[in-house]
Chain A
Amino acid sequence: MRILLTISLWLFASGAFALDAATVNKLGFGDGDEKIAAIAALVAEGDPAAAALLQAATDGELQTAGKLVLIVKGEEAVNAATGAKVTPLPEEREDVILNNRVRRELGGAMAALKLISPDRATRLAAAKELTGNADQAMLPLIKKALASETDAGVKQLLELTQATLELKTGTKESRIAAVRTLGLSTNPNTKMLLLGILEKSKEGGYAEPDEDIRIEAQKSLKALEGRLAWGERAGVLFTSVSLGSILLLAALGLAITYGLMGVINMAHGELIMVGAYTTYVVQNLFKRTDFFDWYLLAAVPASFIAAAAVGMALERLVIRWLYGRPLETLLATWGISLMLIQTVRTIFGAQNVQVENPAFMSGGMELLTGVVMPWSRIVIICFAGAVLVGMWLLLTKTRLGLFVRAVTQNRPMASCVGVPTARVDTWAFGLGSGIAGLAGCALSQIGNVGPDLGQSYIVDSFMVVVLGGVGQLAGTVYAALGLGFANKLLEAWQGAVLAKIAVLVFIIFFIQKRPQGMFALRGRALDA
């Protein structure tokens, strides 16, 4: 909208009018075909006056009075051909009727005219709009625009459009050049164009009689397909890594509580939910301030602390009494998860709540036409990496980490050498829970936040830990990424639900082959 406004302002500002009266009249009084011809002629002129006229036509400001074609704005009118003011306003006026066909033509024409706008963003948008729906009449204009174009991105798009048009009408040389240019594109639509050249007609001859062009087209097609395939692969790779990073975040906390400590915490998903709702609350607090875009800076530690606090309370009140009884722990923590779900429902309602991205996380990076990497996902991938590194450092480089490892490897021994095992349990559990909270904070940025959030991740995160092997951070990472890839690859092939089922079934069989996970420790301790 804003772009349109600037354009029209700019169009009006550069006011020297000198248009061919015949063309203007055709636009005013002609039938559909004549109007279209007139539009084409105006576009070919490619000067600001023509643009202003077309803009006026688009805005429904074009009227006729007797033999005059007028541009009427409120109480003022100008002669469409000369630009001279017409006073007084003629009484008898009629709107110029534009049917749909003409309107469509007009839309393309406007886009073409925007190509000569001084504003890069406008030109880029226009160039994009033209790819695929430009028509022959715009060719001269596009050529003109190309000659003066300096921006590489716009230029590339324009060349593509030019090639598309040249292909239909140009000389043999220009058509071969066009085919070559098309081969450089990354637009899936171009593929159709090239395929069209190579198509065989019904009589057995080729749609394109010239053999040289066909050979050239074949080459271009190959190059193009290669590039498209890469784009597609890059897209799958990205979504896989993205899903993997989400699974990783959801599972990392579990890797501590279940993997290292052996506590089977069915409320893990709900700790994720706690993190997500904490983010929601923090976001609401920031909404009234000017720092909304920075709310994540507060939400990240807040969600960690909130989930960790809940986790530590759980450990103290319930889990502590059930060490060594994994099946009972499973049931008790399930009970906790039910209560957490109900608590959230009571406080926030059963509906999903809205968590908004800060401005810097909306939008994305376009890799190729159609392959967009949203910033939010990119941020989450980095975030998952950071959490992983942080956790690794914490476990290997700090005293708490040393204690945790000591306690998990040999509890009686650790206790003998003075490690406060009970307190270490609580802190370690708090750490795992806090990481779940971080996962919730991240998930709130890309998905729905509702009371059932945790339930949808619990099966997945257990699968990651089980697959990765108990007590194995590296295993957890590989398993999360592996599951992310498997899911996305299968999804592309069979659809999301079947992909998920296939992955679950695969895991079920995998576990039977390697009950200790991918990175199994063959050990006596484990089969006790």
Chain B
Amino acid sequence: MSISATTATGEGGSLGRVAREGLDSTHGVVLYMEDISVSFDGFKALNKLSLSIDIGELRCVIGPNGAGKTTMMDVITGKTRPDEGTVYFGQTIDLTRLSEAQISTAGIGRKFQKPTIFEHHSVFENLELSMKADKRVRKTLFSSLSSAQKDSIAETLKTIRLNDSADRVAGLLSHGQKQWLEIGMLLMQEPRLLLLDEPVAGMSDDETERTGELFLSLAGKHSLVVVEHDMAFVEKIARKITVLHEGGVLAEGSMSEVQNDPKVIEVYLGR
């Protein structure tokens, strides 16, 4: 895969607003969230949430339904603007000021809870469209695929095991395949940080297993935030877990630490 496996610190000092090279990760942290609050018609979906993700980290986020996990991702990706608080990508990029497209270009990829792919496009075209490239109108009008880009697509097809279906219309794929395609699309973006909202929902055990392996192989090169309900899956891949509850962080730590935390037990059992 053509993703550069950089975990180097202190690369590039330029402060380009959206240029990926501008990501300043001097302190080994790729994402900071501080005191984020979001309310919908008075209801606080996020309440002074603070979280930071390290370079190359694979973080699992769990929490009961309505805890605010999806909303947290909305805030990171610019879909929802926080009422209060700051979100920084690296040391310098203030995500609350960027549009969705700019955030994506800066290097954050997101998989939705409900798989969203381009149903009327072929699998190949889905990957082509999400491929890292200059995505301004003028460039897109005159773009054509270089052989390196074709290779990169072929490689991703193999990774997500859809190389036999490259020309199939994406809408015809099975639910699990769609999930994989969406993950493939994320990979094509070559993001620094991947946000995955319930990625294995609706997958068979076999598919789930392979997804876990994929994530583990990606960690290190990328930073990942995985939201999941499937505790078996979490247990398999998690190194560090954050438990969200009522819009805030309830506990954070390794699997066993979290499992033994009395607050967590109360929330989960009291549910």
Could you give, for residues 491-525 of chain A, a 1 whenever the CB lies within 8 Å of some chain B CB and a 0 otherwise? 00000000000000000000000000000011100
Task: Look across to chain B and name the residue whose beta carbon is closest to the beta carbon of A522.
Answer: B40
Cα–Cα distance between A70 and B102 once the two chains are bound (Å):
103
Task: Look across to chain B and name the residue whose beta carbon is closest to the beta carbon of A523.
Answer: B40
Q: List 4 A-B contacts (CB under 8 A).
A: A521-B41, A522-B40, A522-B41, A523-B40
Task: Look across to chain B and name the residue whose beta carbon is closest to the beta carbon of A520.
Answer: B41
Task: Look across to chain A and name the residue whose beta carbon is closest to the beta carbon of B40.
Answer: A522
With a cutoff of 8 Å between Cβ atoms, the chain B residues found around residue A523 in the complex are 40
A-binding residues in B (CB < 8 A): 40-41
Cα–Cα distance between A240 and B38 once the two chains are bound (Å):
40
Chain A's nearest CB lies how many Å from the CB of B112?
12
B-binding residues in A (CB < 8 A): 521-523
With a cutoff of 8 Å between Cβ atoms, the chain A residues found around residue B41 in the complex are 521-522
Chain A's nearest CB lies how many Å from the CB of B133?
27
Cα–Cα distance between A423 and B41 once the two chains are bound (Å):
33
Cα–Cα distance between A523 and B42 once the two chains are bound (Å):
12
Cα–Cα distance between A521 and B41 once the two chains are bound (Å):
8
Cα–Cα distance between A521 and B43 once the two chains are bound (Å):
12
With a cutoff of 8 Å between Cβ atoms, the chain B residues found around residue A522 in the complex are 40-41
Cα–Cα distance between A234 and B41 once the two chains are bound (Å):
38
With a cutoff of 8 Å between Cβ atoms, the chain A residues found around residue B40 in the complex are 522-523
Cα–Cα distance between A522 and B39 once the two chains are bound (Å):
10
Q: How many CB-defined contacts (below 8 Å) exist between A and B?
A: 4
With a cutoff of 8 Å between Cβ atoms, the chain B residues found around residue A521 in the complex are 41
Cα–Cα distance between A134 and B220 once the two chains are bound (Å):
102
Chain B's nearest CB lies how many Å from the CB of A298?
46
Going nearest first, the 4 A-B pairs with the smallest beta carbon separation are A522-B40, A522-B41, A521-B41, A523-B40
Task: Look across to chain A and name the residue whose beta carbon is closest to the beta carbon of B70.
Answer: A524
Cα–Cα distance between A112 and B41 once the two chains are bound (Å):
70
Chain A's nearest CB lies how many Å from the CB of B257?
33
Cα–Cα distance between A434 and B40 once the two chains are bound (Å):
36
Cα–Cα distance between A521 and B40 once the two chains are bound (Å):
9
Task: Look across to chain A and name the residue whose beta carbon is closest to the beta carbon of B79.
Answer: A527
Cα–Cα distance between A523 and B41 once the two chains are bound (Å):
9
Cα–Cα distance between A522 and B79 once the two chains are bound (Å):
13
Chain B's nearest CB lies how many Å from the CB of A58?
75
Cα–Cα distance between A148 and B253 once the two chains are bound (Å):
102
Cα–Cα distance between A522 and B38 once the two chains are bound (Å):
12
Chain A's nearest CB lies how many Å from the CB of B44?
13
Chain A's nearest CB lies how many Å from the CB of B110?
15
Chain A's nearest CB lies how many Å from the CB of B101?
17
Cα–Cα distance between A523 and B43 once the two chains are bound (Å):
11
Cα–Cα distance between A298 and B190 once the two chains are bound (Å):
72
Chain B's nearest CB lies how many Å from the CB of A482?
22
Chain A's nearest CB lies how many Å from the CB of B227?
16
Task: Look across to chain A and name the residue whose beta carbon is closest to the beta carbon of B39.
Answer: A522
Cα–Cα distance between A521 and B42 once the two chains are bound (Å):
11
Cα–Cα distance between A34 and B41 once the two chains are bound (Å):
85
Chain B's nearest CB lies how many Å from the CB of A192?
57
Cα–Cα distance between A115 and B41 once the two chains are bound (Å):
68
Cα–Cα distance between A522 and B41 once the two chains are bound (Å):
7
Task: Look across to chain A and name the residue whose beta carbon is closest to the beta carbon of B41.
Answer: A522
Task: Look across to chain B and name the residue whose beta carbon is closest to the beta carbon of A527.
Answer: B79
Task: Look across to chain B and name the residue whose beta carbon is closest to the beta carbon of A521.
Answer: B41
Chain B's nearest CB lies how many Å from the CB of A153?
56
Cα–Cα distance between A230 and B40 once the two chains are bound (Å):
44
Chain A's nearest CB lies how many Å from the CB of B155?
34
Chain B's nearest CB lies how many Å from the CB of A229?
42
Chain B's nearest CB lies how many Å from the CB of A517?
15
Cα–Cα distance between A284 and B247 once the two chains are bound (Å):
66
Chain A's nearest CB lies how many Å from the CB of B128?
26
Chain B's nearest CB lies how many Å from the CB of A225?
48
Cα–Cα distance between A487 and B40 once the two chains are bound (Å):
34
Cα–Cα distance between A386 and B238 once the two chains are bound (Å):
63
Cα–Cα distance between A282 and B111 once the two chains are bound (Å):
62
Cα–Cα distance between A496 and B250 once the two chains are bound (Å):
61
Cα–Cα distance between A107 and B41 once the two chains are bound (Å):
71
Chain B's nearest CB lies how many Å from the CB of A277?
44
Chain A's nearest CB lies how many Å from the CB of B234?
25
Cα–Cα distance between A523 and B40 once the two chains are bound (Å):
7
Task: Look across to chain A and name the residue whose beta carbon is closest to the beta carbon of B74.
Answer: A524
Chain B's nearest CB lies how many Å from the CB of A235?
40
Chain B's nearest CB lies how many Å from the CB of A43?
76
Chain B's nearest CB lies how many Å from the CB of A409?
15
Chain B's nearest CB lies how many Å from the CB of A42?
80
Chain B's nearest CB lies how many Å from the CB of A230?
41
Cα–Cα distance between A164 and B106 once the two chains are bound (Å):
83
Chain B's nearest CB lies how many Å from the CB of A513?
15
Cα–Cα distance between A522 and B40 once the two chains are bound (Å):
7
Cα–Cα distance between A522 and B80 once the two chains are bound (Å):
11
Cα–Cα distance between A472 and B231 once the two chains are bound (Å):
42
Cα–Cα distance between A522 and B45 once the two chains are bound (Å):
13
Cα–Cα distance between A377 and B40 once the two chains are bound (Å):
42
Chain B's nearest CB lies how many Å from the CB of A403?
25
Cα–Cα distance between A522 and B42 once the two chains are bound (Å):
11
Chain A's nearest CB lies how many Å from the CB of B50?
24
Chain A's nearest CB lies how many Å from the CB of B43?
10
Cα–Cα distance between A244 and B40 once the two chains are bound (Å):
32
Chain B's nearest CB lies how many Å from the CB of A245?
31
Chain B's nearest CB lies how many Å from the CB of A359?
52
Cα–Cα distance between A498 and B40 once the two chains are bound (Å):
39
Task: Look across to chain A and name the residue whose beta carbon is closest to the beta carbon of B71.
Answer: A524
